[in-house]
A = this chain, B = another copy of it.
Amino acid sequence: MSAVNERRERERAHRHQLIITAARELAEAEGWEAVTTRRLAERVEYSQPVLYSHFTGKDAIVSAVAIDGFSELAAHLRRARQAAPEQGQTLRAVCRAYLNFAVERPALYQAMFVLHTDLKFASAETPPPLRAAFDEFVSCFRPDSQRRELFAEVTWSALHGMAVLSDSGRILPDGQEERLDFLVTQIADSGASRDD
């Protein structure tokens, strides 16, 4: 491959990421319903069909944003877990970090967990960042427990329910801290690694 082609490849990859970040910024600024292919094309200063030379469709763009989000979420949770104040508080710290993430980046969270994407989750084709984020929950529980994954799934489900019901106004956002406290207390009773 010639040097010219390599440059083109670089530019193409750069534009690829440009589209993703533009979609994300637009969504975070005005919500996903404002993210249309026309507005997105205008934003990256190309015509519409260019988008389709990078992605198979709009869903694929949302999926790309979501994957970026999974990486950030995994890092966010890991940071919270490692900075947990005392032993036995890691589960609470990770859960709180999760809810914070959902509140502070609602559009990103929607791309990851609400909007329709063509991502494979619990399978072999699961994107690594997605698995990494989930594993942060898993590692909050005793390593010797064979039901760690189950615990993590339920914890994650509860947090997701709280996040999405709160975001859509179906429960009041005020009580989140209390709900979090109750959830963690109940879950931790049998399962959390409070003694590692």
Contacts and interface: CB of A to CB of B under 8 A. Distances in A.
Interface residues of A, number: 34
Contacts of A154: 158, 162, 179, 182-183, 186
Given A186-B189, A186-B190, A190-B186, A171 B147 contact: no
Contacts of A182: 147, 150-151, 154
A34 to B, nearest CB: 14
A160 interface: yes
Contact of A171 (B122, B165, B186, B190): B122
A75 interface: no
A189 B153 CA distance: 19
A157 B156 CA distance: 11
B178 A113 contact: no
A85 interface: no
A88 to B, nearest CB: 17
Contacts of A183: 154, 158
A172 B150 CA distance: 11
Contact of A169 (B121, B157, B168, B189): B121
A26 interface: no
A156 B170 CA distance: 11
Please list the 3 inter-chain residue pairs (A to B) with the smallest Cβ-Cβ separation, ordered nearest first.
A161-B161, A157-B161, A158-B158
